[in-house]
Structure 1
Amino acid sequence: MADQPDLEQLYLQMCRVRLAEEAIAGLWRDGRISGEMHLGAGEEGAVVGVLAHLEPGDRLSVDYRSTPPFVARGVPVDAIVRELLGDPDGLDGGSAGHMHLLSREHLVASTGIVGAPAPVACGFALSAQQEHRRRVAFAFFGDGAVNEGMVMESLNLAAVWRLPVVFVCKDNRWAVTTRSRDVLGGGLVRRARGLGLRAVRVDGRDAVAVWRAAGRAVRRARRGGGPTFLIARVDRLEGHFLGDPLVRVANDARVLRSETAPLLEAVRHPDGAALASRLRAVLGVGRTIAAARLDGLHRRRDPLDLLRSRLPADVAAAVEQSARDEIRAAVAAATEEATRA
């Protein structure tokens, strides 16, 4: 394994992921993709830094922010876009949507069930262990998922059986619209270590730092050293989903006034719960909005900007153009075929 990452390749993969998701977001806003859309903008460093260590036969179980790992894993972008458009020629026959993508060829599966990537990855890892193959399984999920029982059970199982699995917790400090610190007892590191896992924190916005931390975890798993719980700090550059009202309320004063006016009116209404109860509820909403606003103001580290600063300007520009050409062609092919169908 190389001592230093290939910065150009890391940046290329991150650009491919970002551009693919921007194209998907555009199709969603145009009404061509139905349902909610959960994107991984801000997670590129954490995803690409880990996946750079995958070898043939390694398996990947991911959450509903599935586009980044699927693109970085090498799943054809046009097949993903066709799938999201409901095209029968899509990756999974047009029936999976964005939360339940599967590629048998690339050994990667996603799920819309919060926390489910953890037990699926344990199954992948157990299979590799029993076949005596030096294969590693990876699970990607958010910090909010750690409160799910199946995640805790999976961490325990992996530790007891010393499974070759790397759990990647993308810590954006939010569980939908709830701050994780308000609902997470014990802390992420202490929980994992309490179950006997090696737990490591890393800046998930720094693809190079992730690459190094993930490399140690993968080497440990391949030689039979057991699982690692990798906590990657990331920023959620979009809301929980596209069109998330919390983001609009936190960032637009006009929306804030229009959305909170009915709540304030309800507090003054003569009927309903006790006044103290209503006041507590409104204050809770206010605290959530303030936290989202503060989180947005303090967000300064886009993972692509951070890695771009480490490359010569001409190299970075060439990489960006290469990724742009590839993604544009893939999306055009997918949408043209979907239109003809």
Structure 2
Amino acid sequence: MKAPVVLGIESSCDETGVGLVAEGVLLGDALASSMDAHARFGGVVPEVAARAHLESMLPVLREALDTASLDLADVDAVAVTAGPGLSTAVQVGLASAKALAYALDKPLYGVHHLAGHAAVDVLVHGPLPTRCVALVVSGGHTSLLLLGDLARDPVVHLGDTIDDAAGEAFDKVARVIGLGYPGGPVIDRVARDGDPHAIRFPRALSRAQDPAYGFSFSGVKTAVARWVEARTDAGGEIPVADVAASFQEAVADVLTRKAVAACREHGVGTLLLVGGVAANSRVRALAEERCAAAGLELRVPPLRLCTDNGAMIAAVGDLLVRAGVEPSRADLAADPSAPLTGALLHGVGR
């Protein structure tokens, strides 16, 4: 008996992704990005993203199927990001998934975007441990989660950002120091030539009385802007590489210190580092260093699976199918601000 093939669709922001997974194995995937179309605006424009998803969905679907040497007739279930994300963008993916599920007469699984970031590591490193802590860091989210069985168990939030997500702060700081959009990759690159200890930028929510696992990156973003402004007003040059490296160090320090502390407090031996900011070289290096010192296993997906992609959504769907979880209702609606309580989003009335 062949393993069920799950097709996953991701369209929460500016990437159109399709992936195909069976029993924890990635069979094929494809991705199209509209990032270049947003660069001149300094950030993602929802209407531009939605139009790009409409244009890319079928070509990406065909490419993913071709890569996997499969036809639509081979698909046994369809999974799709139903939230959170940009409303119009999520709706394009959800409508496409519903159409496919209906046409193929296959079950539909609406999944939480952040659960996808956690599940994608399974495709590379095998099943997750019984319990682990996940640090999910992206342009829109920064969360510390306690995970059990991702398909069946509720997700426990240990802490979340109270303002800017880490990735959002990277974008804003990049704009302040003239590096453009998107900020994450360019700051990572420029910071390699800078001194991470040149400027001591603040580490927010690090006092004993602060939430142990809460995050805030608005303050460090503002601190960078004020430092640059003061330097400019004084007629001095901006040491861009030092600013980038010092800012990056502040973010990496807070993220990894709190993540390791959460693992210790909750008695888990594995830290899962996922999301777009997990591609940052300093965040990865400091996580490796601190996990090694604490005797923790660090699991980080390959760079191409850290950012949004269809494989991660197919990976969640595959876990749900194998766990025998009931699929979502046909009236499943997009939920742009869906809270992460579990991997599956059911639909109205559930």
If the TM-score is normalised by the length of the shorter chain, which range does it land in? under 0.3
Tell which structure's C-alpha radius of gyration is larger: 1
Per the normalisation by structure 1, the TM-score is 0.27
Per the normalisation by structure 2, the TM-score is 0.27
- Greater RCO (CA < 8 Å, at least 6 residues apart): 2
